[in-house]
Amino acid sequence: MWFFNDEERELKRVCRNFAQKELAPFAAKHDQDETFNLAAFKKMADIGVLGITASPDYGGAGLGATAATIVMEEFGKVCASTTLSYLAHSILCVNNIQNNASTEQKSKYLPKLISGEWIGCMGMSEPEYGSDAVGIQTKATRSGDNYKIHGTKMWITNAQYADIAYVYTRTGAEKKQLSTFILEKSKGHFAAGKPIHKIGMRASPTGELIFNNTIVPVAQRVGEENQSIIHLMKNLEIERITIAGISLGIAKACLEQSVRYANERKQFGTTIGHFQMIQKMISEMAAETEMMEHYLYSVAKAFDQGQCDKTSAAKVKLNIPKMVTKIALDAIQIHGGYGYSREFPLERYLRDNKLMEIGAGTNEVMIIIIAKSLLELN
92, 239 Cβ separation under 8 angstroms: yes
Selection from 76, 316, 80, 336 nearest residue 198 by Cα = 80
209, 152 Cβ separation under 8 angstroms: yes
201, 352 Cβ separation under 8 angstroms: yes
**Does the annotation mark 237 as catalytic?**
no
Rounded distance, CA 316 to CA 87, Å?
17
| Position 309, amino acid | D
Rounded distance, CA 22 to CA 364, Å?
35
Surface-to-core class of residue 208, CB atoms within 10 Å of its CB (0-12 exposed, 13-18 middle, 19+ buried): buried
191 - beta bridge partners? 210
Rounded distance, CA 136 to CA 132, Å?
8
| Position 336, amino acid | G
Three-state DSSP state, 101: coil
Which member of 8, 73, 126, 239 is catalytic? 239
Rounded distance, CA 152 to CA 128, Å?
10
347, 202 Cβ separation under 8 angstroms: no
Neighbour count for residue 25 (Cβ, 10 Å)? 12
Rounded distance, CA 9 to CA 26, Å?
26
Rounded distance, CA 365 to CA 363, Å?
6
Helix (H) or strand (E) holding 148: strand 146-157
Residues whose CB is less than 8 angstroms from the CB of residue 106 and which lie 6 or more positions away in sequence, other chains included: 55, 57, 58, 97, 98
Rounded distance, CA 134 to CA 170, Å?
9
Helices 346-354, 229-264: axis angle to 10 degrees equals 160
Task: List the catalytic residues.
Answer: 239
